[in-house]
Amino acid sequence: MKIGMVTDSLGHLSQDEMLRAAAELGLSHVEFGCGNWSSAPHIDLKGLLASGDARRNFLAKVADHGLAISALNASGNPLHPGQSGADHQACADATLELAGLLNIDRVVMMSGLPGGPGDSWPNWITVAWPPFCSQILEYQWNEVAIPWWKQRVKNAREHGVSRLCIEFHGGQLVYNVPSFWRLREAVGETVGVNFDPSHLLWMGADPLACIHELGEAIYHVHAKDTFVNARQTALSSRLETLHPVSSRERAWNYVTLGYGQDEQWWKQFCYHLRQVGYDDVLSIEHEDVVLARDEGMRKSVALLERCLADAPSDYRLPDIG
């Protein structure tokens, strides 16, 4: 496997500074945020769509630093019932078009979250009762999400994008393994997973078990960690609404790799991915509000370097015949 990063992890740097830092960290890949919930500090989506010269210069600059692009990222909520949803859909579609023009076959997205019939805001349904909850959920899936994703699959194929990588996240329609399978069964295998263990950790799932359930449906991986505050969760559960800057009082926080799960856990994480056939990029996403970004990235890269195998297995069963 190879180590990369979500370029927003060093969002305080210019494009040139970020690429230089990525090369100095020894990374092989970068994943560019293109808008929506990213401020897209390192990519000019409209400019690249408009100019073949701009695209060639962009790719050359990345390659000149010894880097490749693992994916483009358009994470947001294109199913929002208001203007925000229309804006996020436009960015997602533009990102699919740009990915095709750059010969990048992976785009990372989130599933989006609709409202209920007539709602002005998204509505995340996480319980089966009261009875209206299941009615809202069926509307969200059958009337909004599935038709929308069928069209995105069509758009992706038209642009030569073969893998739409859905990231599980709270506040999204697809947030766990069963909800992912529901979407994939409805729209096909163009849709796979951008596997980010940090969200599963705070929601109480087991990422290692999820790896084996998802198997070849894992199309891309984010390396991000979560620290769960056992004392606080005992009082408040893991349903957390405090702002991340209140990290001391929160039930959980995103942290630098190794500060939530220990190194042994991350070794198992990498090993389990290899077991199901994933031998691709681990894209570090730094969202630690305590450690500085430069320091957090250095520590995360160092941990992954200790966890990864450098060569494929050469084990063979002994010949006992």
**CA atoms of 271 and 10, how far apart (whole Å):** 27
Can you tell me the mean pLDDT for 124-153?
97
The percent of residues above 90 in pLDDT, for the chain, comes to 96
pLDDT tens sequence across 207-251: 999 999 999 999 999 999 999 999 999 999 999 999 999 999 999
Task: Give the model's pLDDT for residue 201.
Answer: 98
DSSP, res 215: G
- pLDDT grade, residue 142 (50/70/90)? very high
pLDDT at 312 over 90: no
How many percent of the chain have pLDDT more than 70? 98
Among 8, 16, 94, 87, smallest CA distance to 50 is for 94
What pLDDT shows up at residue 319?
Answer: 72
CB neighbourhood size of 138 (10 A): 11
* Residue 90, pLDDT score: 98
Instruction: Indicate whether 286 pLDDT > 70.
Output: yes
CB under 8 Å, gap of 24 or more: what pairs does 206-213 form?
207/269, 208/268, 208/269, 208/272, 210/177, 211/269, 211/272, 211/273, 211/275, 211/276, 212/272, 212/275, 212/276, 213/177
| Cα–Cα nearest to 6, from 281, 285, 239, 195 | 285
pLDDT over 90 at 7, yes or no: yes
Report the alpha-carbon distance of residue 62 to residue 76 in Å, rounded: 25
Predicted pLDDT at 267 = 98
The pLDDT, as a whole number, for residue 313 is: 73
Reported as a pLDDT band with limits 50, 70 and 90, residue 321 is low
User: Taking all residues of the chain, what is their mean pLDDT, rounded to a whole number?
Assistant: 96
pLDDT at 193 exceeding the cut of 90: yes
Query: Is the bond leading into 81 cis (omega within 30 degrees of zero)?
Result: no
Asked whether residue 158 carries a pLDDT value surpassing 80, the answer given is: yes
Span 44-59, mean pLDDT? 98
Q: Which pLDDT value is given to residue 171?
A: 97
Answer for the pair 29, 62: CB distance below 8 angstroms, yes or no: no
pTM for the whole thing?
A: 0.96
pLDDT number for residue 317: 73
For residue 318, pLDDT beyond 80: no
Give tens-digit pLDDT for 245-276.
Answer: 999 999 999 999 999 999 999 999 999 999 99
Separation of alpha carbons 186 and 207, rounded Å: 24
